Amino acid sequence: MQCKHAGYESGDPFGLYEASLSFLSGDKRSLPVLGDAGTGKTQFALQLTARLLEEDDKVLPIYIRLSSPVIQSLQSGLLEDVLTKQYFLTPEEAGRILQLGQTEQQFCFIIDAVDEFLNKHRDDLQARDIARVNNLYGMFTHGKCIFMCRTKVPGLHHSDLLTVFTPNTPHCNLAPELRAESLLLQPFNDDAKNTFIRLYIENRLYKQATPDVIENYRARIRDISFLDNIISKPIMLKMTMRVLRYLEAFYAQRPNETRKEADVRLSLIHI
């Protein structure tokens, strides 16, 4: 299992895109990307889809969010509906793409929100049509899947999650060692926080991010109780960088207020 950070919207500061390209060029057919809420799974999925469309002529990415109505088409095995309803292609265009996928085109199905779907139907795991996701391996000669899922799904054992990530169709007889590898998205440590802040300053504020400037931001964040811990999740750090001065002003008006981490998190989201 590789451990990575996610959360930045451009470039590849934490090596996620490089890890994805390594997977796509290898023999394995499935890549579970696991992480807690807020570690950047969906952002990474969308960024990866867009970047592959722009930069890689060999791989055609198809993003599917299992918690959306599109899943009804996927469960029926009608991938044409995914292409027409989600990507607004004509039936003829969708048909041509699917024909290519059965011969020369490498498809990468980027499957998001696996945990939301599993949690919704956790009492019916064995009979669930989610197993039909694995048909994507057998339908296409060069098909691969990247799954986005929380590290833990209440009520489900890790071995149950692996059934979603394992190609097991009659058309896909892979040795066990080729069936699945995993990528774990971790919360930000101090180095990752500094990297994110530096890139945010340079690419969003168009300023020079010297070590002193980065430390100034870190000090301002630490001055607000619990905030440094909250920004361990990439999405919360992004929000903090956007509204830090407003959050400082909010708490400057309440210097003696007793607060909990949950209060600070709600204030950040509200602002």
pLDDT for 218-250, tens place per residue? 999 999 999 999 999 988 999 999 999 999 999
Residue 121: pLDDT band with limits 50, 70, 90: low
Q: What is the pLDDT of residue 178?
A: 47
Task: Answer yes or no: pTM beyond 0.95.
Answer: no
Residue 27 has pLDDT above 50, yes or no: yes
Nearest Cα neighbor of 142 from 19, 26, 221 is 26
Q: What is the pLDDT of residue 11?
A: 62
Nearest Cα neighbor of 48 from 88, 134, 108, 133 is 108
Averaged pLDDT, 184-195: 90
Q: What is the pLDDT of residue 237?
A: 94
- The CA-to-CA distance between both ends of the chain, in Å, stands at 37
DSSP bridge partners of 35 = 185
Residues of the chain above pLDDT 90, percent: 28
- Does 255 or 80 have the greater pLDDT score? 255
Q: What is the pLDDT of residue 152?
A: 79
Q: What is the pLDDT of residue 181?
A: 66
When the pLDDT of each residue in the chain is averaged and rounded to a whole number, the result is 79
Q: What is the pLDDT of residue 201?
A: 94
Residue 49: pLDDT band with limits 50, 70, 90: very high
Distance from C-alpha of 237 to C-alpha of 241, rounded to nearest angstrom: 6
Residues contacting 64, CB < 8 A, separation 6+: 70, 71, 74, 82, 86, 109, 110, 111, 112
Averaged pLDDT, 174-179: 48
Q: What is the pLDDT of residue 68?
A: 76
